[in-house]
Structure 1
Amino acid sequence: MLRVSQLIIYPIKSLGGIHLNNAKVTSRGLEHDRRWMLIDENHRFLSQREHAQLALYTVQLINEGLKVTFRPDGSSIVVPFRPIKNDFIEVSIWDDTCHGQLVSNEIDAWFTAGTGINCRLVYMPDNIERPTDPRYTEKGTITSFSDAYPALLIGEESLNDLNKRLTDPVLMNRFRPNIVFSGGEPYAEDLMKHISINGMDMYGVKLCARCVLTTIDQETAEKGKDPLKTLATYRRKGNKINFGQNLVLTGNGMLNVGDEITVISTHTEERFLMATNPLVT
Protein backbone atom coordinates (compact mmCIF):
# COMPACT_ATOMS: atom_id res chain seq x y z
CA MET A 1 0.00 0.00 0.00
CA LEU A 2 1.20 3.49 -0.88
CA ARG A 3 0.73 6.21 1.73
CA VAL A 4 1.69 9.86 2.02
CA SER A 5 4.59 10.01 4.48
CA GLN A 6 5.65 13.65 4.15
CA LEU A 7 4.08 16.90 2.96
CA ILE A 8 6.47 19.80 2.41
CA ILE A 9 6.00 23.34 1.15
CA TYR A 10 8.64 25.91 0.24
CA PRO A 11 6.88 29.27 0.64
CA ILE A 12 9.90 31.29 -0.56
CA LYS A 13 11.45 29.76 -3.65
CA SER A 14 14.85 28.13 -2.97
CA LEU A 15 14.72 28.74 0.80
CA GLY A 16 14.04 26.10 3.46
CA GLY A 17 10.96 23.92 3.40
CA ILE A 18 8.21 23.43 5.99
CA HIS A 19 6.95 19.95 6.91
CA LEU A 20 3.19 19.77 7.45
CA ASN A 21 0.77 17.15 8.69
CA ASN A 22 -1.99 18.58 6.49
CA ALA A 23 -1.81 20.70 3.35
CA LYS A 24 -4.54 22.45 1.41
CA VAL A 25 -4.65 21.82 -2.34
CA THR A 26 -5.08 24.90 -4.54
CA SER A 27 -5.22 25.39 -8.31
CA ARG A 28 -1.49 26.20 -8.42
CA GLY A 29 -0.12 23.72 -5.89
CA LEU A 30 -0.17 23.28 -2.14
CA GLU A 31 -1.21 26.38 -0.23
CA HIS A 32 1.64 28.90 0.27
CA ASP A 33 4.06 26.82 -1.80
CA ARG A 34 6.47 29.10 -3.71
CA ARG A 35 4.18 32.10 -3.56
CA TRP A 36 7.18 34.29 -2.67
CA MET A 37 10.47 34.63 -4.54
CA LEU A 38 13.71 36.59 -4.27
CA ILE A 39 14.81 38.42 -7.41
CA ASP A 40 18.04 40.15 -8.39
CA GLU A 41 18.60 43.56 -9.97
CA ASN A 42 17.53 42.15 -13.34
CA HIS A 43 14.25 40.86 -11.88
CA ARG A 44 15.45 37.26 -12.32
CA PHE A 45 14.78 34.66 -9.63
CA LEU A 46 17.48 33.73 -7.13
CA SER A 47 18.27 30.04 -6.73
CA GLN A 48 20.55 27.86 -4.66
CA ARG A 49 22.01 26.77 -7.99
CA GLU A 50 24.00 30.00 -8.09
CA HIS A 51 23.61 31.14 -4.47
CA ALA A 52 24.02 28.16 -2.13
CA GLN A 53 23.70 30.41 0.93
CA LEU A 54 19.92 30.47 0.40
CA ALA A 55 19.88 27.00 2.00
CA LEU A 56 20.78 28.67 5.30
CA TYR A 57 17.37 30.38 5.59
CA THR A 58 14.66 28.51 7.49
CA VAL A 59 10.97 29.36 7.16
CA GLN A 60 8.12 28.86 9.64
CA LEU A 61 4.39 29.48 9.30
CA ILE A 62 3.08 31.75 12.06
CA ASN A 63 -0.19 33.62 12.48
CA GLU A 64 1.19 36.82 10.96
CA GLY A 65 2.83 35.19 7.96
CA LEU A 66 6.25 33.63 7.45
CA LYS A 67 9.00 33.84 10.05
CA VAL A 68 12.29 33.65 8.16
CA THR A 69 15.51 33.02 10.08
CA PHE A 70 19.08 33.30 8.81
CA ARG A 71 20.84 30.52 10.70
CA PRO A 72 24.43 31.91 10.61
CA ASP A 73 23.55 34.91 12.80
CA GLY A 74 20.14 33.92 14.18
CA SER A 75 18.44 37.05 12.86
CA SER A 76 14.85 36.79 11.68
CA ILE A 77 12.09 38.78 10.04
CA VAL A 78 8.35 38.26 9.48
CA VAL A 79 7.02 38.28 5.94
CA PRO A 80 3.28 39.13 6.05
CA PHE A 81 0.83 36.99 4.12
CA ARG A 82 -0.19 40.10 2.20
CA PRO A 83 2.48 42.51 0.92
CA ILE A 84 2.83 45.96 2.45
CA LYS A 85 3.50 47.50 -0.95
CA ASN A 86 1.12 47.64 -3.91
CA ASP A 87 3.70 47.79 -6.68
CA PHE A 88 3.97 45.15 -9.39
CA ILE A 89 6.94 44.34 -11.62
CA GLU A 90 7.66 41.79 -14.32
CA VAL A 91 9.84 38.94 -13.07
CA SER A 92 11.48 35.97 -14.79
CA ILE A 93 11.73 32.30 -13.87
CA TRP A 94 13.83 30.47 -16.45
CA ASP A 95 12.17 31.31 -19.81
CA ASP A 96 8.88 32.42 -18.23
CA THR A 97 7.89 35.95 -17.32
CA CYS A 98 5.01 36.99 -15.10
CA HIS A 99 4.17 39.75 -12.65
CA GLY A 100 5.06 39.75 -8.98
CA GLN A 101 4.04 42.11 -6.19
CA LEU A 102 6.80 43.81 -4.22
CA VAL A 103 6.51 43.06 -0.51
CA SER A 104 8.46 45.51 1.69
CA ASN A 105 11.55 47.72 1.54
CA GLU A 106 12.55 46.60 5.04
CA ILE A 107 12.37 42.94 4.06
CA ASP A 108 14.36 43.61 0.89
CA ALA A 109 17.11 45.26 2.94
CA TRP A 110 17.21 42.33 5.39
CA PHE A 111 17.63 39.75 2.63
CA THR A 112 20.20 41.91 0.85
CA ALA A 113 22.30 42.13 4.02
CA GLY A 114 22.19 38.38 4.68
CA THR A 115 22.73 37.12 1.15
CA GLY A 116 25.20 39.77 0.04
CA ILE A 117 23.10 40.18 -3.10
CA ASN A 118 21.08 43.27 -3.97
CA CYS A 119 17.70 41.53 -4.02
CA ARG A 120 13.98 42.05 -3.50
CA LEU A 121 11.14 39.81 -2.39
CA VAL A 122 8.05 39.45 -4.57
CA TYR A 123 4.71 37.72 -3.98
CA MET A 124 2.27 36.09 -6.41
CA PRO A 125 -1.31 37.11 -5.52
CA ASP A 126 -4.33 35.09 -6.62
CA ASN A 127 -5.09 37.34 -9.59
CA ILE A 128 -1.77 36.53 -11.27
CA GLU A 129 -1.73 33.25 -13.13
CA ARG A 130 1.38 31.63 -14.60
CA PRO A 131 0.63 28.83 -17.09
CA THR A 132 2.49 25.55 -17.03
CA ASP A 133 4.23 24.19 -20.13
CA PRO A 134 1.46 23.47 -22.70
CA ARG A 135 3.54 20.65 -24.21
CA TYR A 136 2.93 18.55 -21.12
CA THR A 137 -0.18 19.94 -19.42
CA GLU A 138 -3.75 20.85 -20.28
CA LYS A 139 -4.72 24.42 -21.09
CA GLY A 140 -5.64 26.34 -17.93
CA THR A 141 -3.14 24.55 -15.67
CA ILE A 142 -1.20 27.08 -13.60
CA THR A 143 1.65 27.13 -11.13
CA SER A 144 3.26 29.59 -8.74
CA PHE A 145 6.96 30.57 -8.72
CA SER A 146 7.96 26.89 -8.92
CA ASP A 147 10.44 25.92 -11.62
CA ALA A 148 7.67 24.63 -13.86
CA TYR A 149 4.88 22.57 -12.25
CA PRO A 150 2.58 22.71 -9.20
CA ALA A 151 4.02 19.79 -7.23
CA LEU A 152 6.72 17.12 -7.08
CA LEU A 153 6.22 13.50 -5.98
CA ILE A 154 8.98 11.13 -4.80
CA GLY A 155 8.84 7.70 -3.17
CA GLU A 156 10.89 6.86 -0.08
CA GLU A 157 12.05 3.67 -1.77
CA SER A 158 13.61 5.68 -4.60
CA LEU A 159 15.77 7.57 -2.11
CA ASN A 160 16.58 4.34 -0.28
CA ASP A 161 17.79 2.79 -3.54
CA LEU A 162 19.92 5.84 -4.33
CA ASN A 163 21.45 5.87 -0.84
CA LYS A 164 22.53 2.24 -1.22
CA ARG A 165 24.68 3.43 -4.12
CA LEU A 166 26.22 6.38 -2.26
CA THR A 167 29.18 6.43 0.11
CA ASP A 168 27.48 9.18 2.11
CA PRO A 169 23.66 8.90 2.16
CA VAL A 170 21.64 12.06 1.55
CA LEU A 171 18.33 13.33 2.91
CA MET A 172 15.15 13.82 0.92
CA ASN A 173 15.49 17.60 1.32
CA ARG A 174 18.15 17.60 -1.44
CA PHE A 175 15.30 16.99 -3.90
CA ARG A 176 12.66 19.42 -2.56
CA PRO A 177 9.53 17.27 -3.07
CA ASN A 178 6.05 18.32 -2.02
CA ILE A 179 4.62 14.84 -1.55
CA VAL A 180 6.66 11.88 -0.33
CA PHE A 181 5.15 8.42 -0.08
CA SER A 182 6.01 5.11 1.57
CA GLY A 183 5.54 1.68 0.08
CA GLY A 184 5.94 0.31 -3.42
CA GLU A 185 9.05 -0.28 -5.47
CA PRO A 186 11.90 2.19 -6.08
CA TYR A 187 10.99 4.70 -8.80
CA ALA A 188 7.34 3.65 -8.86
CA GLU A 189 6.50 7.36 -9.19
CA ASP A 190 8.04 7.44 -12.68
CA LEU A 191 5.06 5.62 -14.15
CA MET A 192 2.24 7.25 -12.19
CA LYS A 193 -0.01 8.92 -14.74
CA HIS A 194 -3.23 9.36 -12.76
CA ILE A 195 -3.38 9.00 -8.99
CA SER A 196 -5.97 9.83 -6.38
CA ILE A 197 -5.32 11.00 -2.82
CA ASN A 198 -8.18 11.73 -0.44
CA GLY A 199 -10.61 12.00 -3.35
CA MET A 200 -8.46 14.43 -5.34
CA ASP A 201 -7.08 13.59 -8.76
CA MET A 202 -3.45 14.26 -9.59
CA TYR A 203 -1.59 13.65 -12.82
CA GLY A 204 2.07 12.91 -13.46
CA VAL A 205 3.14 15.00 -16.43
CA LYS A 206 6.93 14.91 -16.64
CA LEU A 207 9.90 13.26 -14.96
CA CYS A 208 11.83 15.80 -12.91
CA ALA A 209 15.25 16.63 -14.38
CA ARG A 210 17.76 17.26 -11.61
CA CYS A 211 20.53 19.84 -11.33
CA VAL A 212 23.41 20.93 -9.10
CA LEU A 213 20.99 22.00 -6.34
CA THR A 214 20.87 18.34 -5.31
CA THR A 215 24.60 18.52 -4.48
CA ILE A 216 24.09 21.23 -1.83
CA ASP A 217 23.89 20.15 1.80
CA GLN A 218 20.75 21.87 3.09
CA GLU A 219 22.19 22.22 6.59
CA THR A 220 25.60 23.68 5.73
CA ALA A 221 25.21 24.99 2.15
CA GLU A 222 28.37 23.07 1.24
CA LYS A 223 28.58 21.66 -2.29
CA GLY A 224 29.76 18.24 -3.42
CA LYS A 225 29.51 16.05 -6.50
CA ASP A 226 26.91 13.58 -5.27
CA PRO A 227 24.18 12.56 -5.47
CA LEU A 228 24.07 13.99 -9.01
CA LYS A 229 27.24 12.16 -10.08
CA THR A 230 25.83 8.81 -8.97
CA LEU A 231 22.36 9.49 -10.36
CA ALA A 232 23.95 10.16 -13.73
CA THR A 233 25.21 6.56 -13.85
CA TYR A 234 21.73 5.03 -13.86
CA ARG A 235 19.02 7.72 -14.07
CA ARG A 236 20.07 9.49 -17.25
CA LYS A 237 17.73 9.71 -20.22
CA GLY A 238 19.09 11.70 -23.12
CA ASN A 239 20.78 14.71 -21.55
CA LYS A 240 18.58 14.72 -18.43
CA ILE A 241 19.16 13.09 -15.03
CA ASN A 242 15.73 12.27 -13.62
CA PHE A 243 14.51 11.76 -10.06
CA GLY A 244 10.86 12.26 -9.10
CA GLN A 245 7.69 13.02 -11.02
CA ASN A 246 6.13 16.45 -11.62
CA LEU A 247 2.41 16.62 -10.86
CA VAL A 248 -0.56 18.78 -11.68
CA LEU A 249 -3.30 18.84 -9.05
CA THR A 250 -7.06 19.10 -9.48
CA GLY A 251 -9.89 19.55 -7.04
CA ASN A 252 -9.97 21.22 -3.67
CA GLY A 253 -9.41 19.63 -0.32
CA MET A 254 -6.82 18.59 2.21
CA LEU A 255 -3.94 16.21 1.92
CA ASN A 256 -2.86 14.48 5.10
CA VAL A 257 0.17 12.50 6.14
CA GLY A 258 -1.09 8.92 6.19
CA ASP A 259 -3.49 9.29 3.24
CA GLU A 260 -3.58 6.31 0.90
CA ILE A 261 -2.45 6.85 -2.69
CA THR A 262 -4.44 5.02 -5.36
CA VAL A 263 -2.81 4.56 -8.76
CA ILE A 264 -5.55 4.76 -11.39
CA SER A 265 -3.42 4.59 -14.55
CA THR A 266 0.25 4.39 -15.53
CA HIS A 267 2.39 5.89 -18.26
CA THR A 268 3.39 3.91 -21.33
CA GLU A 269 5.05 6.73 -23.30
CA GLU A 270 8.73 6.27 -24.04
CA ARG A 271 9.72 9.51 -22.25
CA PHE A 272 8.63 8.00 -18.91
CA LEU A 273 10.34 4.65 -19.33
CA MET A 274 13.70 4.11 -17.67
CA ALA A 275 15.73 1.01 -16.88
CA THR A 276 14.97 1.40 -13.17
CA ASN A 277 11.17 1.51 -13.58
CA PRO A 278 9.65 -1.34 -11.55
CA LEU A 279 7.69 -2.54 -14.59
CA VAL A 280 10.52 -2.29 -17.12
CA THR A 281 13.01 -5.13 -17.62
Structure 2
Amino acid sequence: MNATLSALHVYPVKSCAALAPREAQVETRGLAHDRRWMIVDANGKFVTGREFSRMPLIRVAPDAHGLVFDAPGMQPLAVATPSPDRARRTVEVWGATVGALAADAAARAWLSRFLGQPADLVYMDAAARRAVDESYAEPGDEVSFADGFPVLLISQAALDQLNGKLAQPIPMLRFRPNLVVDGVAPHAEDGWTRIRVGEVEFDVVKPCTRCVFTTVDPERGERDPAGEPLRTLITYRRTPKGVTFGQNLIPRGAGTIRLGDTVAVLA
Protein backbone atom coordinates (compact mmCIF):
# COMPACT_ATOMS: atom_id res chain seq x y z
CA MET A 1 0.00 0.00 0.00
CA ASN A 2 1.28 3.44 -0.95
CA ALA A 3 -1.27 5.65 0.77
CA THR A 4 -0.78 9.41 0.67
CA LEU A 5 -2.62 12.50 1.82
CA SER A 6 -4.09 13.84 -1.44
CA ALA A 7 -6.30 16.68 -0.16
CA LEU A 8 -6.74 18.86 2.91
CA HIS A 9 -9.91 20.79 3.73
CA VAL A 10 -10.54 23.31 6.48
CA TYR A 11 -13.97 24.83 7.14
CA PRO A 12 -13.46 27.98 9.24
CA VAL A 13 -17.22 28.44 9.74
CA LYS A 14 -19.39 25.39 10.33
CA SER A 15 -21.41 24.51 7.18
CA CYS A 16 -19.81 27.28 5.11
CA ALA A 17 -17.31 27.01 2.26
CA ALA A 18 -14.04 25.10 2.50
CA LEU A 19 -10.45 26.19 2.22
CA ALA A 20 -7.90 23.87 0.63
CA PRO A 21 -4.48 24.54 2.17
CA ARG A 22 -1.35 22.61 1.23
CA GLU A 23 -0.55 22.04 4.89
CA ALA A 24 -2.34 22.27 8.21
CA GLN A 25 -1.45 22.27 11.88
CA VAL A 26 -3.03 19.44 13.86
CA GLU A 27 -4.31 20.48 17.28
CA THR A 28 -6.25 18.69 20.00
CA ARG A 29 -9.56 19.95 18.59
CA GLY A 30 -8.70 19.12 14.98
CA LEU A 31 -7.02 21.06 12.21
CA ALA A 32 -6.13 24.64 13.13
CA HIS A 33 -8.92 27.09 12.18
CA ASP A 34 -11.36 24.28 11.38
CA ARG A 35 -14.92 25.01 12.53
CA ARG A 36 -13.87 27.45 15.23
CA TRP A 37 -16.74 29.72 14.12
CA MET A 38 -20.43 28.81 14.01
CA ILE A 39 -23.70 30.42 12.98
CA VAL A 40 -26.55 30.20 15.52
CA ASP A 41 -30.19 31.22 15.56
CA ALA A 42 -31.84 33.71 17.90
CA ASN A 43 -31.96 31.06 20.64
CA GLY A 44 -28.28 30.20 20.35
CA LYS A 45 -28.85 26.88 18.58
CA PHE A 46 -26.52 25.95 15.76
CA VAL A 47 -27.78 26.16 12.18
CA THR A 48 -26.27 24.20 9.29
CA GLY A 49 -26.62 23.43 5.62
CA ARG A 50 -29.16 20.78 6.56
CA GLU A 51 -31.68 23.57 7.12
CA PHE A 52 -30.15 26.30 4.96
CA SER A 53 -28.75 24.91 1.72
CA ARG A 54 -27.27 28.33 0.86
CA MET A 55 -24.75 28.19 3.71
CA PRO A 56 -21.95 26.58 1.63
CA LEU A 57 -22.12 29.67 -0.61
CA ILE A 58 -20.73 31.74 2.26
CA ARG A 59 -17.00 32.04 1.58
CA VAL A 60 -14.49 33.13 4.17
CA ALA A 61 -10.89 34.24 3.84
CA PRO A 62 -8.68 34.53 6.93
CA ASP A 63 -6.85 37.81 7.46
CA ALA A 64 -4.67 39.21 10.23
CA HIS A 65 -7.69 40.20 12.32
CA GLY A 66 -10.22 37.42 11.73
CA LEU A 67 -12.24 36.47 8.66
CA VAL A 68 -13.56 38.24 5.59
CA PHE A 69 -17.02 37.00 4.61
CA ASP A 70 -18.40 37.03 1.06
CA ALA A 71 -21.45 35.51 -0.60
CA PRO A 72 -23.55 36.00 -3.75
CA GLY A 73 -25.42 39.29 -3.67
CA MET A 74 -23.57 40.48 -0.56
CA GLN A 75 -20.80 42.99 0.02
CA PRO A 76 -17.67 41.50 1.64
CA LEU A 77 -17.54 41.95 5.41
CA ALA A 78 -14.47 41.82 7.63
CA VAL A 79 -15.20 40.23 11.00
CA ALA A 80 -12.64 40.55 13.78
CA THR A 81 -11.90 37.62 16.05
CA PRO A 82 -13.64 38.52 19.34
CA SER A 83 -11.32 39.40 22.20
CA PRO A 84 -11.37 37.04 25.20
CA ASP A 85 -12.94 39.72 27.38
CA ARG A 86 -15.97 40.04 25.10
CA ALA A 87 -19.31 38.80 26.44
CA ARG A 88 -19.82 35.07 26.14
CA ARG A 89 -22.96 33.46 24.87
CA THR A 90 -24.13 29.95 25.70
CA VAL A 91 -24.73 28.15 22.41
CA GLU A 92 -25.86 24.64 21.60
CA VAL A 93 -24.45 22.20 19.05
CA TRP A 94 -25.76 18.63 18.91
CA GLY A 95 -26.92 18.74 22.52
CA ALA A 96 -23.66 20.16 23.90
CA THR A 97 -23.51 23.66 25.35
CA VAL A 98 -20.49 25.89 24.82
CA GLY A 99 -19.66 29.31 26.23
CA ALA A 100 -18.60 30.97 22.99
CA LEU A 101 -17.60 34.54 22.18
CA ALA A 102 -20.14 36.58 20.21
CA ALA A 103 -19.03 38.40 17.06
CA ASP A 104 -20.07 42.00 16.46
CA ALA A 105 -23.45 43.34 15.36
CA ALA A 106 -22.31 43.80 11.76
CA ALA A 107 -21.81 40.05 11.41
CA ARG A 108 -25.28 39.45 12.83
CA ALA A 109 -26.86 41.84 10.33
CA TRP A 110 -24.92 40.40 7.37
CA LEU A 111 -25.76 36.77 8.14
CA SER A 112 -29.40 37.53 8.98
CA ARG A 113 -29.82 39.24 5.62
CA PHE A 114 -28.22 36.42 3.66
CA LEU A 115 -30.09 33.62 5.43
CA GLY A 116 -33.39 35.47 5.66
CA GLN A 117 -33.81 34.93 9.38
CA PRO A 118 -32.15 36.17 12.59
CA ALA A 119 -28.68 34.67 12.84
CA ASP A 120 -25.58 35.35 14.88
CA LEU A 121 -21.92 34.39 14.66
CA VAL A 122 -19.92 32.94 17.54
CA TYR A 123 -16.30 31.98 18.02
CA MET A 124 -14.68 29.16 19.97
CA ASP A 125 -11.53 30.40 21.68
CA ALA A 126 -9.19 28.37 23.88
CA ALA A 127 -11.40 28.89 26.93
CA ALA A 128 -14.52 27.53 25.21
CA ARG A 129 -14.49 23.80 25.89
CA ARG A 130 -16.43 20.99 24.27
CA ALA A 131 -15.67 17.36 25.08
CA VAL A 132 -15.78 14.47 22.64
CA ASP A 133 -18.41 11.79 23.33
CA GLU A 134 -16.88 9.76 26.16
CA SER A 135 -17.99 6.52 24.49
CA TYR A 136 -15.20 7.04 21.96
CA ALA A 137 -12.80 9.39 23.69
CA GLU A 138 -10.00 9.47 26.20
CA PRO A 139 -10.08 11.93 29.13
CA GLY A 140 -9.29 15.43 27.91
CA ASP A 141 -10.31 14.88 24.27
CA GLU A 142 -11.91 17.99 22.82
CA VAL A 143 -13.66 18.95 19.61
CA SER A 144 -14.42 22.21 17.83
CA PHE A 145 -17.88 23.06 16.47
CA ALA A 146 -17.59 20.04 14.14
CA ASP A 147 -20.49 17.60 14.40
CA GLY A 148 -18.82 15.30 16.91
CA PHE A 149 -15.16 14.54 16.29
CA PRO A 150 -12.02 16.55 15.56
CA VAL A 151 -11.13 15.17 12.10
CA LEU A 152 -12.96 13.42 9.26
CA LEU A 153 -11.11 11.21 6.76
CA ILE A 154 -12.34 9.67 3.49
CA SER A 155 -10.50 7.59 0.89
CA GLN A 156 -10.52 8.95 -2.65
CA ALA A 157 -11.40 5.48 -3.89
CA ALA A 158 -14.62 5.54 -1.85
CA LEU A 159 -15.79 8.60 -3.79
CA ASP A 160 -14.60 7.12 -7.09
CA GLN A 161 -16.63 3.98 -6.40
CA LEU A 162 -19.71 6.01 -5.56
CA ASN A 163 -19.34 8.17 -8.66
CA GLY A 164 -19.24 5.01 -10.75
CA LYS A 165 -22.78 4.31 -9.54
CA LEU A 166 -24.19 7.83 -10.04
CA ALA A 167 -25.63 9.31 -13.22
CA GLN A 168 -23.81 12.56 -12.42
CA PRO A 169 -20.53 12.45 -10.45
CA ILE A 170 -20.24 14.60 -7.36
CA PRO A 171 -17.23 16.29 -5.73
CA MET A 172 -15.65 15.17 -2.48
CA LEU A 173 -16.83 18.38 -0.81
CA ARG A 174 -20.35 16.94 -0.64
CA PHE A 175 -18.96 14.93 2.30
CA ARG A 176 -16.92 17.74 3.89
CA PRO A 177 -13.84 15.74 4.92
CA ASN A 178 -10.67 17.20 6.41
CA LEU A 179 -8.34 14.53 5.03
CA VAL A 180 -8.55 12.66 1.74
CA VAL A 181 -6.33 9.62 1.27
CA ASP A 182 -5.30 8.20 -2.09
CA GLY A 183 -3.68 4.87 -2.89
CA VAL A 184 -6.02 2.59 -0.92
CA ALA A 185 -9.07 0.49 -1.77
CA PRO A 186 -12.59 1.96 -1.48
CA HIS A 187 -13.50 2.36 2.21
CA ALA A 188 -10.22 0.82 3.35
CA GLU A 189 -10.48 3.27 6.24
CA ASP A 190 -13.35 1.21 7.67
CA GLY A 191 -10.79 -1.36 8.81
CA TRP A 192 -8.33 1.05 10.42
CA THR A 193 -8.08 1.79 14.14
CA ARG A 194 -4.88 3.90 14.24
CA ILE A 195 -2.95 5.73 11.54
CA ARG A 196 -0.04 8.12 11.14
CA VAL A 197 -0.16 10.99 8.66
CA GLY A 198 3.32 12.37 8.26
CA GLU A 199 4.48 12.43 11.89
CA VAL A 200 1.06 12.83 13.55
CA GLU A 201 -0.90 9.84 14.84
CA PHE A 202 -4.68 9.55 14.99
CA ASP A 203 -7.13 7.08 16.47
CA VAL A 204 -9.81 6.01 14.00
CA VAL A 205 -12.82 5.86 16.29
CA LYS A 206 -16.17 5.84 14.50
CA PRO A 207 -17.76 5.67 11.03
CA CYS A 208 -19.31 8.94 9.92
CA THR A 209 -23.10 8.66 9.60
CA ARG A 210 -24.35 10.73 6.69
CA CYS A 211 -27.38 13.03 6.46
CA VAL A 212 -29.29 15.19 4.01
CA PHE A 213 -26.42 17.72 3.89
CA THR A 214 -24.69 15.39 1.42
CA THR A 215 -27.46 16.19 -1.08
CA VAL A 216 -26.56 19.91 -1.09
CA ASP A 217 -24.48 21.04 -4.07
CA PRO A 218 -21.86 23.36 -2.51
CA GLU A 219 -21.41 25.27 -5.79
CA ARG A 220 -25.11 26.08 -6.23
CA GLY A 221 -26.34 26.01 -2.65
CA GLU A 222 -29.25 23.78 -3.64
CA ARG A 223 -30.37 20.27 -2.82
CA ASP A 224 -30.19 17.53 -5.42
CA PRO A 225 -33.78 16.98 -6.61
CA ALA A 226 -33.16 13.22 -6.89
CA GLY A 227 -31.83 12.97 -3.33
CA GLU A 228 -28.38 11.89 -4.44
CA PRO A 229 -25.98 10.65 -3.27
CA LEU A 230 -28.00 9.38 -0.28
CA ARG A 231 -30.40 7.47 -2.54
CA THR A 232 -27.51 5.46 -4.00
CA LEU A 233 -25.54 5.15 -0.77
CA ILE A 234 -28.53 3.50 0.90
CA THR A 235 -28.20 0.61 -1.56
CA TYR A 236 -24.72 -0.40 -0.38
CA ARG A 237 -23.61 1.64 2.65
CA ARG A 238 -26.58 1.28 4.99
CA THR A 239 -25.84 -0.01 8.50
CA PRO A 240 -28.05 -0.42 11.58
CA LYS A 241 -26.89 3.05 12.66
CA GLY A 242 -27.42 4.71 9.30
CA VAL A 243 -25.59 5.33 6.04
CA THR A 244 -21.85 5.66 6.65
CA PHE A 245 -19.14 7.23 4.49
CA GLY A 246 -15.72 8.08 5.93
CA GLN A 247 -14.23 7.74 9.40
CA ASN A 248 -13.93 10.09 12.36
CA LEU A 249 -10.48 10.58 13.89
CA ILE A 250 -9.08 11.87 17.16
CA PRO A 251 -5.52 13.27 17.06
CA ARG A 252 -2.98 11.63 19.36
CA GLY A 253 -0.36 14.29 18.92
CA ALA A 254 0.26 17.67 17.34
CA GLY A 255 2.23 18.77 14.33
CA THR A 256 2.02 19.84 10.72
CA ILE A 257 0.61 17.59 8.01
CA ARG A 258 1.14 18.29 4.31
CA LEU A 259 -0.20 17.19 0.96
CA GLY A 260 1.76 14.16 -0.20
CA ASP A 261 2.47 12.93 3.33
CA THR A 262 2.54 9.17 3.73
CA VAL A 263 -0.48 7.68 5.51
CA ALA A 264 0.67 4.63 7.50
CA VAL A 265 -1.84 2.20 8.97
CA LEU A 266 -0.60 1.27 12.46
CA ALA A 267 -3.53 -0.91 13.54
Verify same fold: TM over 0.5. Answer: yes
> In structure 1, how many angstroms separate the alpha carbons of the residues matched to 2:241 and 2:136?
18
2:182 matched residue in structure 1? 182
Among residues 236, 240, 245, which one is paired with 2:238 in the alignment? 236
CA contact (8 A) 1:84 1:103 kept: no
1:130 and 1:193 map into 2 onto residues whose CA distance is 23
For the structure 1 residues 34 and 160, does the alpha-carbon distance in structure 2 shift closer, same or farther, using more than 3 Å as the test? Answer: same
Deviations 1:199-254 (A, max 9, x none): 21101110000000000000111212000110011001014000000000121210
RMSD: 1.2
CA contact (8 A) 2:81 2:103 kept: no
Q: Does 1:40 align with 2:54?
A: no
Amino acid at match of 1:233: T
Counterpart contact for 1:85–1:102, Cα < 8 Å: no
* Unpaired stretches in structure 1, ≥5 consecutive residues: 266-281
Q: CA deviation at 1:61?
A: 2.3
- Does the residue aligned with 1:67 lie in a helix, a strand or coil? strand
After superposition, the Cα gap between the structure-2 partners of 1:136 and 1:9, relative to the gap in structure 1 and judged at 3 Å, is: same
Give the aligned partner of residue 91 of structure 1.
Answer: 91
Which of 244, 252, 261 in structure 2 is aligned with 1:259? 261
Aligned counterpart, 1:65: 66
Tell me the amino acid that sits aligned with residue 118 of structure 2. Answer: N
More strand by proportion, 1 or 2? 1
Instruction: Tell which deviates more after alignment, 141-150 or 79-88.
Output: 79-88
Q: Percent identity among equivalent residues?
A: 37
- 1:136 deviates by 1.2
Q: Give the structure-1-normalised TM-score.
A: 0.91
SS of 1:19's equivalent in the other structure is coil
Unaligned runs of 5+ in 2: none
- 8 Å CA contact 2:38–2:121 kept in 1: the answer is yes
Cα deviation for residue 39 of structure 1 reads 0.4
Give the 3-state SS of the residue equivalent to 2:7 in structure 1.
strand
SS across alignment from 2:162: helix
Give 1:80 shift. 2.2
Instruction: Show the counterpart of 2:161.
Output: 161
Aligned mates of 1:239, 1:195 — CA distance in 2? 24
- Residue 6 of structure 1 corresponds to 7
Whole-angstrom distance in 2 between the partners of 1:226 and 1:28: 31
Aligned CA distance change for structure 1 residues 185 and 131 (closer, same or farther; 3 Å): same
For these two proteins, the number of residue pairs brought into alignment is 264
Spell out the pairing of 1:57-206 with structure 2 (5 A cutoff). 57-70=58-71, 72-83=72-83, 86-206=86-206
